[in-house]
Amino acid sequence: MLSPVTAAADSTVTITGTLTNETAHQQLGSANLFWPSGFDVTAASVSPGSASVAASCSLNGFAAGPCVQLRTLSLAPGESATATMTVKTPSPCASYTWQIEAKQANSFSGTPGNDLDLDSANSSLTTQVTSPCATSVAFDTQPHNAFVGEHITGTDLDPTGPPPTVDVLDENGNLLPSSKAPITVALGDNPTGGRLAGTKTVNASGGVATFSDLSVDTPGDGYTLAASSPDLTGATSAAFNISTPPTPPEPTYGHTVEVAPVSGDVCVKPKGGTQFQPLGGNALIHVGSVIDATNGTVKLRAAKRRNNTQFQHAKFSLGPFLVAQAKHGRPYTKLTLAGSTGCTQATAGAKAAPSYLRHRRHRRVYGSGSGNYRTSGHHGSGSTIGERQAAELQEPFASTRSRRTKWLTANRHGGTFFRVDKGTLVVHDFTLHHKVTLHAGQSYLAPANR
């Protein structure tokens, strides 16, 4: 017999169960008491005997499940034992039935023939869960339009917006703050066969389940989400659309280049601007802008051809430089050593650069990449070479198509210095008016004076 026979929904209650040995000659030594789905027993005791809560118990003819194990009862005919249990009830209002299996042995051992039969006519193994009860779920924050693969939120095309939420409602349609019911969402209307990703089952907190990382992998119009929870009436969301993200603009030769910080502090002074601004992520900047990589490394992606069909990549560090691209002749991207820095001052929270760094006369830049680049100082410039130029110069790496170059360009008191660590660099000496081809391991100083 279980007592009380009624319990409030979604609450922690104490339920007692009385076991009586009605046999004429056999002992009632042990039993397994199985609680209904949706319930949870957190503690149990019995007198006489011992009690424990087990995660998995067997029941003849039924699937294994959690139960209260009652042992060493040693009940002679006519004797009784009382089990006391701390029970967490579910949200839905319904009548729930417990199950029990008893044996003669104190250790719950022996064949099924050792079982004792339940006197069903004189037993009560039900608990009626009563109001206030969860009866249904409903969308509160509706899903809105989103891009493929990005989080669906309550704001159109904004993955940082408020996430969709589903409320647990009572029989009067009001939010049930005590509910912790598990709520599952899935695609309802699925116009193009998309797949829903993210955490799709969430336990309600304060009666509200929040779905913060849902996304759909296929574009389409008229998707819906379907929300469900065991024993509750489900709900369908408002329709929303999934779109393909717009293609970001590509660098355009002679107009823009793409830059991205790799490490440290990198800043940009826009073309025509007077102030450096921190570079926080990928950005398109206009040709004619100054990049300050004195205290960091920047990745530069530029159009390699005037028809903007090919692109070249390189990384630069150690100093500030102005970005330009050739207007006539063979296309190339030109980096001219700039005379001022500003990144340290522009970076929030950074310490001011020492005076010798802010005002030093020696400017430099270190490059690593492939493509057609030219770094230019006061007294000379160094040009990386493409595949065609490599073949003309009979470079050994022309056949391997390895065109990566690593090189340093620096303005010094005595001229402009060039050093090649990998690849080939063609140096144009402004003072002596000639060209010098440098290979890996070689250096050259274009002098300030004859």
Q: pLDDT per position in the chain (450 positions), as tens?
A: 999 999 988 889 999 999 999 999 999 999 999 999 989 999 999 999 999 999 999 877 677 889 999 999 999 999 999 999 999 998 888 899 999 999 999 999 877 668 899 999 999 999 999 988 899 999 999 999 999 999 999 999 999 999 999 999 998 999 999 888 999 999 999 999 999 999 999 999 999 999 999 999 999 999 999 999 998 999 999 999 999 988 878 999 999 999 999 999 999 999 988 899 999 899 999 999 999 999 999 999 999 989 988 999 999 999 999 999 999 988 999 999 987 676 654 444 444 444 334 444 458 999 999 889 999 999 999 999 755 555 455 555 433 344 689 999 999 989 999 999 999 999 999 999 999 999 999 999 999 998
Burial class from Cβ neighbours inside 10 Å (0-12, 13-18, 19+) for residue 361 reads exposed
Q: Would you state the pLDDT for residue 214? A: 98
Instruction: State the sign of the Cα–Cα–Cα–Cα dihedral 413, 414, 415, 417.
Output: negative
Letter for the amino acid at 395? E
Q: Would you state the pLDDT for residue 247? A: 83
Q: Would you state the pLDDT for residue 334? A: 97
Three-class SS of residue 425? Answer: strand
Alpha-carbon separation of residue 449 from 142, 392, 415, 427 (angstroms):
73, 31, 8, 17
Q: Would you state the pLDDT for residue 141? A: 98
Three-class SS of residue 176? Answer: coil
Contacts of 400-408 with C-beta under 8 Å, sequence gap 24+, read: 403/370, 403/371, 404/368, 404/369, 404/370, 405/367, 405/368, 405/369, 405/370, 405/373, 406/366, 406/367, 406/368, 407/366, 407/367, 407/375, 407/382, 407/438, 408/318, 408/364, 408/365, 408/366, 408/367
Query: Do the beta carbons of residue 154 and residue 236 sit within 8 Å?
Result: no
Q: Would you state the pLDDT for residue 131? A: 82
Q: Would you state the pLDDT for residue 397? A: 43
Length of the chain: 450
Q: Would you state the pLDDT for residue 248? A: 79
Count other C-beta atoms under 10 Å from residue 374's C-beta. Answer: 20
**This model's pTM is above 0.75:** no
Q: Would you state the pLDDT for residue 178? A: 86
H-state helical runs in 139-221: none
Starting at the edge strand that comes first in sequence, how are the strands of the sheet with 208-210 ordered?
A: 134-139, 165-170, 208-210
Q: Would you state the pLDDT for residue 346? A: 46
